[in-house]
């Protein structure tokens, strides 16, 4: 699954490219919401995982989307749900498309060390794209935003927890000791850029 920093990278591109009149704070809260889980059981629930016990860890993305009648939702609730859907959709996209990236592990780093370097590298790339966009103004709007979600399929979600993890991620500083030789930035950015067009088509 993608890290929250990458979801926020993806979210920035959606906000900049969507033709609809998007309401940004609930969209960002929604895209953060699936990562408010507290343990493995809630992780599966929040991510609408099908049947991991039987080897199926796919997310019920379309089933989730079809739970809602967007024509009847208030605007704020609509954009929260679309944000939540975006998170689930993007997790599936990353799962099936990261193999397009060229990994240059020339030093033969072991699995655990390599995994951590790649996570740090992706966060580094994400923040280069998003740190100026998610400025003080956006953070204040999120912090002061009021939303009574009251939607049965998302009754387990707590808005204050969404705010907490979202603002925490946006307040994190730069990473150091970055291994940019492992995966080149232009390849990574192209992967994220290509996801946006596909996602926007999925909303139609």
Distance CA 173, CA 196 (A): 26
pLDDT > 70: percent of the chain? 96
- Count of structural domains, the chain: 1
Q: Lowest-confidence range among 115-129, 152-166, 170-184? A: 170-184
Taking a C-beta distance cutoff of 8 angstroms, is the pair 154, 81 a contact?
yes
Sign of torsion over alpha carbons 151, 55, 201, 36: positive
The two three-digit tokens of residue 35, written as one number: 């990562």
Q: Which two tokens mark 24? A: 């940004």
Section 190-196 average pLDDT: 96
Neighbours of 1 (CB within 10 A): 18
Predicted confidence (pLDDT) per residue in 13-66, tens digit: 999 999 999 999 999 999 999 999 989 888 889 998 876 555 567 788 988 999
Domain of residue 165, residue span: 4-202
- Within its chain, how far is the Cα of 49 from the centroid? 16
Tell me the mean pLDDT in the region 95-115: 90
């Amino acid at each position: 699954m993608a890290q929250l920093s990458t979801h926020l990278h993806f979210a920035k591109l959606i906000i900049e490219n969507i033709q609809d009149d998007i309401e940004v704070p609930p969209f960002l809260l929604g895209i953060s919401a699936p990562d408010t889980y507290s343990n493995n059981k809630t992780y599966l629930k929040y991510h609408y995982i099908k049947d991991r016990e039987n080897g199926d860890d796919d997310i019920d993305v379309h089933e989730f989307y079809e739970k809602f009648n967007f024509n009847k939702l208030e605007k704020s609730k609509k954009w929260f749900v679309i944000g939540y859907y975006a998170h689930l959709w993007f997790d599936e996209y990353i799962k099936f498309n990261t193999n397009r990236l060229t990994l240059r592990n020339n030093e033969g780093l072991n699995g655990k060390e390599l995994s951590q370097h790649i996570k740090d590298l992706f966060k580094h790339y994400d923040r280069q794209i998003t740190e100026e966009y998610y400025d003080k103004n956006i953070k204040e709007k999120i912090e002061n935003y009021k939303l009574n979600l009251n939607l049965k399929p998302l009754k387990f979600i707590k808005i204050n927890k969404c705010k907490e993890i979202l603002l925490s991620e946006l307040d994190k500083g730069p990473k150091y000791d970055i291994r940019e030789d492992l995966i080149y930035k232009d390849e990574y950015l192209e992967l994220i850029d290509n996801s946006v067009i596909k996602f926007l088509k999925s909303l139609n």
